[in-house]
Amino acid sequence: MEVTLFIPCYIDQLYPNVAVATLELLQKLGCSVSYPLQQTCCGQPLANSGFYSLSNKCNENFINNFSDAGYIVCPSGSCTLHVKEHLQSKTRQSKAEKIKSHIYELSEFITDVLKPKNLTASFPYKVGFLTSCHGQRGLHLSSMSEINEPSFSKPLQLLNEVAGIDLFMPQRVDDCCGFGGTFCVYEEAASVKMGKDRIRDFETNNVDYITGYDVSCLMHLEGILKRNKSRVKTIHIAEILNSGTNG
Amino acid sequence: MGKPVHSILSKNFIADNDRTDWHDETLWMVRKKRDYASSQIPEWETLRQWASQIKAHTLSNLDHYLTVFEKNANANGIQVHWAANAAEHNEIIYGIIKQTGISSMVKSKSMLTEECHLNEYLQDKGLQVTDTDLGEWIIQLRKEHPSHIVLPAIHLKKKDVSDTFHQHIQTEKNNNDPKYLTTAARHHLRNIFIKSKLAITGVNFAIAETGGIVICTNEGNADMGVHGAAVHIACMGIEKIIPETLHLSIFLRLLARSATGQAITTYSSHFTSPRKGQQMHIVIVDNGRTRLLGNNNFRNSLKCIRCAACFNTCPVYRKTGGHSYHSIVAGPIGSILNPNTDIKANADLPFACTLCGSCSNVCPVKIDIHNQLWIWRQQISKEGYAGKTKSLSMKVMAYILSHPNVYRFSGNVFRMTLKYFPFIVKNKLNPWYRQREMPEAPKKSFRQWYIQKQKSEFKKQHIKKDS
C-alpha cells in the first residue's frame, strides 16, 4: 500500500524521531512510504489564532505537496483534524476535498485501513495514556466521556497489543492537558496549571512514560515534567508501536 | 488600570493554588453528576437532538412564535412589553414600579436582569431590590457579579460566606457551618419576602401555545416572591420561547440533568395568568440577540437554555474561575455572547479556550460552541482587535509557512539557536519558558534525515547492482 507522509512542522523540526518511527512503523506494516519534500505546515497555528485569512498560500503549498497522494498519514490528531476541517482553495477545491477525505491520523490509519493481524512491538514499561482533544472529539479516535456511546479507542486498541506494556488511564480520562496551540503562551498560567493537573495523576500512579498521538500536547507536558525534574518521560505512540524486536 | 484581560485575571486566580484546585474539583463533581444523570436515560442523545431541532425551528420562526405568545399572554391577562435593549428593559420595569408606588422588591435569579444591570439601575432610583436566590444574594451583599450562571457564588468558600453574613446580617464570627448560615439567610430573607409586594423573576421557558411561562428553581424563591406579591414582572430574552407545552417535556428533562445532575429542579413552576387582583407583566428583550439571529455563524448560540454544563466541563473555566471572564455570563457560552455585545472589550474571551470541544459535547441543545469560538477568533482579527504584536507575528509566520525554503531556513536557525544560543529563547520574556523547559533541539530535521537516508539507500542499491 502506498502512503504519503505528512509530518507537521514542529515534528519535522523538533521531534524528528517521531517522524522516523512513523515511517519505519508504516514500512514494517507493509507500506511503501513517500515524503513530499516541499511540505511545511497545515496552517493550524494561524487559523486557531484567528488568522485563517493569512493561510491561503500555506494551503496552496499543502495542496501542491499532497494533491497526487493516495492515503496521507500524519502522526498528529490535531493537524489531521485541521486539514480535514479547514483546507480550502479558491482554484483547486476538488483537490482540497480529495486530500481531506484521504488524510488519516496514524493510529486510525492502522486500525481502520491497514488492519494488521498483529503488532510485534514490545515495550515493557508502565505507560500512561494522554487523550488529546482534537483527535478524540474531532476525529473520533475514541469514545468521549460526555457522550453516551459504546466505549472504544483506536490508539488503545493498538497499545493493548504491545508486549509487556502496562497501560494506565488517568481518572479524568479526557480532560484537556492545556496545550491548545498558541493558548499555551497567551494563556500561560491556565495552560501550565492544566498541564500540571494532568501530570499529577500520571506521577502519583508511577508511570514511566506518558504517551499519546499528539506530540504538541506531549511537548507541553514534557516541558513541565523536565522543569520539575520528574522521572516521567513522554513518548509518541508511533515510537512505542515501532519499538521492540521486530525489524 | 488597563482593560481587564482573561490571561491576567486568571493568573491572579491561579496564584491561589489550593482555591483553584477546590474550584476545579467542585465543578468537576457537578460535571460527573451530569454524566451519571445523562447516562441513566437511554434516549439522552436523541433528546439533545430533538431539543436542538425544536430550538432551530423556533429560531427560524421566532417572529411568529413571539407574536402568538403575546396574543395568548394578553388573553390570559398578562401585559407584554417589548424592549430593544438593556436601557429600555430597565426603563420599562422602572415605569411599572413607579406606577405601583412600591419601593422595595424581591428578585429571583435572572441572568437577563444581570445582563441589563437592573439592580444598579433601580438602586440609583432609590429603590430596594433583594436577590432571593441564596447564591445571588450572597454576591449581591458582596457587590460582586455572578461567577457562574447556575451557581453564582461558586467562587466562594464557606468561610467567605460566613464573613459576608457576619458583616451584613450579624451572624456569629467564624461560624462556618452551612446549616447555621443557610438558616440565618432563610430567616433574614423570609422577612423580606413577607414585606415585599413586588416580585421580579426571570423566565426559563415561554410557551407560545399557552402564553404562559415556566420558571425553574431549587429554592422555590421565585414562587415565594410571586405568591406574596401584588405585581409580578418576568423578564425574558426573545430566545426563551418554545412552541408548545409538549416540547417542555424535552427541555425539562434536559435542563436540570445538564445543570446539576438532578432529574428535575425542585420547582418547575408554571405562571400562566395573574391571580385575581394581581398584575403580571412580561418584558421581552432583544439586547443584541437579533444580531446573533441574523448571523449564520452564531445563530445557534441562541438555542442556549442557560444550564451551564459548558462551564462545568470547561477545563479553562474550572481552573480560572468565572470572574476571569470579566463579564456577566462567563464560561464558553459567555465567550460567544459577550463579543456580540462588545467585541473590543471581549476580544480576549474566544481565545480563553483550547478548542477541546468538551463544551459542545455536553450542551443539551447541541450548540457547536467551540466552532463558534473559532469563528469569533477570525472575526476579531478581521476587525483589528487581535493586537499589533500578534498580528505582526502571525504575518511573519504566514510568510514562513508559505515558503518551503524560508521555512527550512527558519527551522535550522531555530534549532541552532536552541542548541548553541539557548539564552535567546530561555528567558523570562518567553512565556513558554517561565514554567516549562524548551524541547531539546535535534541536529537534523526529519527532512534532512530523510534525504540523507534516501541517498544512502540509493547508493546501497547501486553498489549491489554494480557488484
What sign does the dihedral B115-B351-B53-B270 (CA atoms) show?
negative
Rounded distance between C-alpha atoms, residue B319 and residue B315, angstroms: 6
Closest Cβ–Cβ partner in B374, B436, B450 for A223: B436
Give the H/E segment covering residue B72.
Answer: helix B62-75
Stated pTM of the model: 0.96
pLDDT number for residue B373: 98
Of B362, B359, B323, B337, the closest CA to residue B153 belongs to B323
State mean pLDDT over A134-155: 97
Distance from CA of A69 to the nearest CA of B (A): 18
Rounded distance between C-alpha atoms, residue A106 and residue B212, angstroms: 55
Residues near B46 by beta carbon (within 8 Å), at least 6 away in sequence: none
pLDDT number for residue B428: 85
CATH classification (class only), B41-287? alpha beta
Q: How many residues does chain B have?
A: 467
Rounded distance between C-alpha atoms, residue B348 and residue B316, angstroms: 13
Residues of B in contact with A58 (CB under 8 A): 398, 401-402
Tens digit of pLDDT for each residue in A95-117?
999 999 999 999 999 999 999 99
Mapped onto helix, strand or coil, the DSSP state of residue B465 is helix
- Asked if residues B57 and B199 have their Cβ atoms less than 8 Å apart, the reply is no
pLDDT number for residue A247: 42
pLDDT number for residue B461: 84
Would the CB atoms of B351 and A183 count as touching at under 8 Å?
A: yes
Matching residue, cell 477541546: B356
User: Which of B392, B435, B438 would you mutate first to test chain A, the one with the most A CBs within 10 A?
Assistant: B435
Chain B CB within 8 Å of residue A41 CB: yes
Rounded distance between C-alpha atoms, residue A208 and residue A211, angstroms: 10
Rounded distance between C-alpha atoms, residue B357 and residue A7, angstroms: 24
Would the CB atoms of A133 and B44 count as touching at under 8 Å?
A: no
Would the CB atoms of B361 and A190 count as touching at under 8 Å?
A: no
Give the residues across from A24 on adjacent strands. Answer: none
Residues of B in contact with A17 (CB under 8 A): 442
Residues of B in contact with A60 (CB under 8 A): 402
**Position A140 pLDDT exceeds 60:** yes
Of A188, A149, A135, the closest CA to residue B356 belongs to A135
State mean pLDDT over A117-129: 95
Q: How many residues does chain A have?
A: 247
Domain ranges of chain B: 41-287, 389-466
pLDDT number for residue B391: 94
Rounded distance between C-alpha atoms, residue B227 and residue B211, angstroms: 19
- Asked if residues A151 and A143 have their Cβ atoms less than 8 Å apart, the reply is yes
Residues of A in contact with B447 (CB under 8 A): 7, 12, 35, 37
Give the H/E segment covering residue B290.
Answer: helix B289-293
Would the CB atoms of A226 and B449 count as touching at under 8 Å?
A: no
Provide the CB-side half-sphere exposure for B24 (13 A, CA). Answer: 21
Give the residues across from B234 on adjacent strands. Answer: B201, B282
- φ and ψ at A192, to 5 degrees? -70, -40
Rounded distance between C-alpha atoms, residue B428 and residue A39, angstroms: 33
pLDDT digit string (tens) for chain B, length 467 residues: 568 999 999 999 999 999 999 999 999 999 999 999 999 999 999 999 999 999 999 999 999 999 999 999 999 999 999 999 999 999 999 999 999 999 999 999 999 999 999 999 999 999 999 999 999 999 999 999 999 999 999 999 999 999 999 999 999 999 999 999 999 999 999 999 999 999 999 999 999 999 999 999 999 999 999 999 999 999 999 999 999 999 999 999 999 999 999 999 999 999 999 999 999 999 999 999 999 999 999 999 999 999 999 999 999 999 999 999 999 999 999 999 999 999 999 999 999 999 999 999 999 999 999 999 999 999 999 999 999 999 999 999 999 999 999 999 999 999 999 988 888 888 888 999 999 999 999 999 999 999 999 999 888 888 876 66
Matching residue, cell 509566520: B397
Would the CB atoms of B407 and A9 count as touching at under 8 Å?
A: yes
DSSP string of A187-223? Answer: THHHHHHHHHHHHHHHHHTT-SEEEES-HHHHHHHHH
Distance from CA of B15 to the nearest CA of A (A): 9
DSSP string of B210-272? Answer: TTEEEEEESS-HHHHHHHH-SEEEEEEEGGGEES-HHHHHHHHHHHHHHHTS-SS-SEEEEE-
Closest Cβ–Cβ partner in B319, B351, B398 for A193: B319
Rounded distance between C-alpha atoms, residue A161 and residue A159, angstroms: 5
